[in-house]
Structure 1
Amino acid sequence: MARNPERRTALVDAAIEVLAREGARGLTFRAVDNEAGVPPGTASNYFTGRDDLFTQAGARIQVRMTPGQADVDEALRPAPTRELYVRLMQWLVRRMAEERTGYLAMLELRLESTRRPALRAELNRAVGAELEANLRHHLDAGLPGDADTFLTLYLAMTGLLLEHFTLPDVLSGREVDELVETVVNRIVPAG
C-alpha cells in the first residue's frame, strides 16, 4: 500500500468530487484516477477496495466541513441569545454552500451506507462524534435551550439543507436566511 499522505488526500478529495457529480455507482478507482489526474492504477495502490475508498471519503468530508476552532470561537463571541443562534445557523448554511461538493458527496455516502456496513459504522462514528461535539459547544456556550432543543434544531436544519441543495425549487421564492430564522425562532426558546 502506497504511503504518500498528500497523494492519498488528493485521491480522497477526487473521490469526493466524483461522488458529488456521479453518485456512489460512479465512484471507481478509474474515475478517481481521472479526477485526480494521476496514472491509471494509482488509486488501487492507496485503497484496499471500494469500501476503503468510501470510508476514507466519509472521514475526509467531515474534516473539510468542520470549521476551525478559531472560527467557532469568533462566531460564539457575542452573547448567547436566540439571535446569535440565527446567525450561527445562517453561517452554517453559507459554509455548506461553500462546500457544496462535500455536502452532496456526504448525502451519497449516507445512502450508500445503507448497503455497506463498514461505511455505516464509520459514518455513525464520525457524524455521532461531530453531533456530540456540537452539543457540547451548545451547552458550554450557554446558548438557549437544552439538549433536546439542540437535537430538534439539528434535525430541522439537516432537512432544510437537504431541500436547499437537492430540490431548491421546492423552496423557490423563499430566502434561505429567512427560512433559517423561522426554524430557529420556532425551535429555540427566547432568552
Structure 2
Amino acid sequence: MKLIGSYTSPFVRKISILLLEKGIEFEFINEQPYNAENGVAQYNPLGKVPALVTDEGEYWFDSPIIAEYIELLGVAPTMLPADPKAALAVKQIEALADGIMDAALTSVREQARPAAQQSETELLRQRGKKSAAAWTCANSLSGREDSNRQPEPGNHRYRLRHRLSQLPPGFSRLVRRPSAAGETGRHPF
C-alpha cells in the first residue's frame, strides 16, 4: 500500500495516523500537490493529497473516503462503532475535524498574502468556524447535550483557555497513543 502526499497536509497526517493505529504497513511517497512537476495527478485527478494506492493497484482519494476504505479492510482496532447511527456520529465528528483543518489552511493562505491584500473579514470568518467546530466536536465527544450550541461572542483567548480546561479526560490519552508518541518509528508529524 502506498500513501501519496506531504506531511505538511493535515489530511495526509490523518490517514497516516489511521494506518499506524491499525498497524498497516505502507510506503510513504512524498509528493507536494502544488508542484507542477509532481505525480499527484496520476493518483487523483483533482491533484490533491492524500491519495492511497492499494496493493491491487486501486486508487483512493479524499481523506474521508480513504479512511472508510481502510476501515473496510477489517483490520483491528475498528475505528467506527458497529451501530450505524453511532458510526454516523463518528463520521460527523470527522467532518467537523476536517472543517477545522480546512479553515486553518484557509487562514494560513490568507495570512500569507501581502498585508494590504489580506481580508480581516475572511480571517474572522475562519476563526469563527474553527472555534464553533472545535467546541461542537469537544461537546460531541464528551456526550454533552448542547453539542450544537454556538460559541458566544467575546474574548476568544479567555474562552479558549476556559474551554481547554473543560475538555474530556480522554483527550489527554491521545498523546499516549503509539501513533502520536512516535513509538512506531514512523511519525506523521
TM-score bracket for this pair, using the shorter chain length: under 0.3
Question: Higher helix fraction: Structure 1 or Structure 2?
Answer: 1
Give the TM-score of the pair, scaled to structure 1.
Answer: 0.27
